[in-house]
Amino acid sequence: MTEVPDRTSSAVVLRAHRTEPAQPFAELLEVVPVELPPLAEGQVRVANELQQVIAATGELMVERPRLPLPRFEIGSPLYGPAVGRVVESRASGLPVGTTVLHGAGWRAHSTLDAAEAYAVPDGVFPGPEHLLNQGVPAYHGMVDIAQVGEGDVVLVSGAAGGVGSMAAQVARLRGAARVIGVAGGPEKCRYLVEELGLDAAIDYRSEDLDARLDELAPEGVSVFFDTVGGLQFEAAVRHAAPGARFALCGVLSDQLGGDGGFPRLDLMTALVREIQIRPFSTRHTPEQVAAWNEHYAEWFAQGRIRFVSTVLDGGLERVVTAQDELRTGVHRGNVLVRLR
């Protein structure tokens, strides 16, 4: 069991707000010592074990974030999804030793109200990293927004990422006729086809998107799940089938500089083909989380879905560098950092 810490811990704090899309996060963040407050009644102290690295963190570093979430304040710790074990407790339902999922990561120890910690039932998943899968937006976007089903030809951008890899598998499990993933590099494309069971993958770094989509989806794409934006969104519009449904989940290209967050929309094509373009928030209701966990646990137990992740070592300092690596696509699947 993790030892109860003394009253000094560490956290990643914001030194300055991000002013340029491609600005290195290492220039904006630093790991500092912090004092742990005494626990109030109904609170727990969690020793964090795994920190998730997500694209939304970069958006919250700007002075006026577009996400409907509190921005990061200069001099204060960041926050984000993490998994850890309770090492001190004044909450009756969360005894010491309980594994919990929560949103107050980016620190070695988190002090939480009991309502902010989701206790993980024993035996549901083989390891705590599975709690940090990004299946909720993937499932919500594919099923509720795009309404993917039998006969659909599906295109997923960022298909080797944490959300995209889940979205592509959900489409396959829902009976799509063909699932095509877009990723960067031959190894990621090989993985999508040979390991995740996609029908085809396009390497956007070395292949022509239009030529490959002409070949792979000659009748057009009926569902597009987008986590990237930019040129990949534009290509999807050009190759959309009549009545195509677009679920817009993320704009990772916006964090690489340039105009990735402002793709050109061919309005005439969108009008003539009656493309339904629906952006959706990645904030989740408890009902959406519960629905996904039920499906994921069943599919995983049956061997029908894989959790794609890259787990890095190095503590909080490594979380900072991993945030920069996320937007360049160095890693595959969910990017997690082991903190202890």
CA distances from 265 to 21, 262, 270 (A): 22, 9, 8
Which residues are CB-contacts of 7 (< 8 A; sequence separation ≥ 6)? 35, 36
Q: Burial level of 168, CB count in 10 A (0-12/13-18/19+)?
A: buried
Return the C-alpha torsion angle 31, 100, 307, 301, nearest 10: 170
Which pLDDT value is given to residue 2? 45
Average pLDDT value for the chain: 92
Q: What is the pLDDT of residues 160-189, one digit of tens each?
A: 999 999 999 999 999 999 999 999 999 999
Q: What is the mean pLDDT of residues 192-221?
A: 98
Q: What is the mean pLDDT of residues 130-144?
A: 93
**Spatial separation of the C-alpha atoms in residues 148 and 173, rounded to whole Å:** 10
Higher-confidence position of 255 and 108:
108
Q: What is the mean pLDDT of residues 184-209?
A: 97
Q: What is the pLDDT of residues 88-104, one digit of tens each?
A: 999 999 999 999 999 99
Q: Which residues pair with 245 in a beta bridge?
A: 223, 276
Least confident range of 122-126, 138-142, 229-233: 122-126
User: For residue 24, is pLDDT > 50?
Assistant: yes
**Spatial separation of the C-alpha atoms in residues 88 and 94, rounded to whole Å:** 9
Which pLDDT value is given to residue 66? 80
Residue ranges of domains in the chain, CATH in brackets: 8-133+308-338 (3.90.180.10), 135-279 (3.40.50.720)
Which pLDDT value is given to residue 242? 99
Q: What is the pLDDT of residues 55-81, one digit of tens each?
A: 889 889 988 888 778 889 999 999 999
Instruction: Determine contact, residues 160/332, Cβ cutoff 8 Å.
Output: yes
Which pLDDT value is given to residue 1? 39
pTM of this structure:
0.86
Q: Which of 83, 28, 80, 86 is nearest to 57 (CA)?
A: 80
Question: Percentage of the chain with pLDDT > 70?
Answer: 96
Q: Which of 169, 128, 182 is nearest to 311 (CA)?
A: 128
DSSP E strands in the chain: the ranges are 8-14, 29-35, 43-53, 82-89, 99-102, 109-113, 118-119, 153-156, 178-183, 200-203, 221-226, 240-248, 276-279, 309-313, 334-338
Q: What is the mean pLDDT of residues 2-18?
A: 83
